[in-house]
Structure 1
């Protein structure tokens, strides 16, 4: 189990979950738009609740080990959240031949303020 500091708030979640969040923020987020991630969190009353975190390139997470002892089924209680990125679809550059073959004519007859 690990404790995470996020936007000044502290919460406890599973080790695999916290490791996945750190990996996601440090490797997938720098060039993407913010995303909302639901994370299972151990509440003070020992219940597990989902918290929504908004992660972006500027997200700062501080992760530390905690004294809370994980149960044998930690991964079942604290599953790794679905970590999707939102971004631009793969864009392929056009070759000179592709550009030359495009019809860029505009079929409009514009009157540029001249009297007809």
Structure 2
């Protein structure tokens, strides 16, 4: 279990969730702004609930071991959430015009390369 401290608060979550959140926050480019993420947390009553964090490139959290906290079936109670995709996302075109579009883009890139060589 891990304690995550932020601003004026603290939550407790599973080791894998905390690691995923740290990795996610450190990979958010400054140009992305902020995004909300939901993570499973341990409530004061011992039950699992969900907390929503608004995170961005400037988010500062502190993660520490919750040595005094142990729960059965941690991985099941605190699954790593699907975090929003950040940055550019590529898609693959499969329609009949895709090959022609690719050829057009290749031709434009060749023109640019030729222009840069002058």
Q: TM-score, normalised by structure 2?
A: 0.70
- Write the distance in 2 (CA, Å) between the matches of 1:82 and 1:8: 25
Q: TM-score, normalization: structure 1?
A: 0.71
Superposition pairs of residues 70-89 of structure 1, within 5 angstroms: 70-71=71-72, 73-89=73-89
- Measured after TM superposition, the shift of residue 85 of structure 1 is 2.4
In structure 2, the partner of 1:12 is: 12
Aligned residue in 1 for 2:41:
41
Q: Is the 8 A contact 2:28 2:86 kept in 1?
A: no
**Number of residue pairs the alignment of both structures matches:** 97
RMSD, aligned α-carbons: 2.5
Q: Residue 97 of structure 1 corresponds to which residue in structure 2?
A: 111
Deviation at 1:86, TM superposition (A): 3.7
Q: Mark the structure with the bigger radius of gyration.
A: 1
Per-residue deviation, 1:57: 0.2
Q: Distance in 1 between matches of 2:87 and 2:58?
A: 16
Query: Where does residue 50 of structure 2 map in the other structure?
Result: 50
Distance 1:89 1:82, change over 3 A: closer
Q: CA deviation at 1:58?
A: 0.5
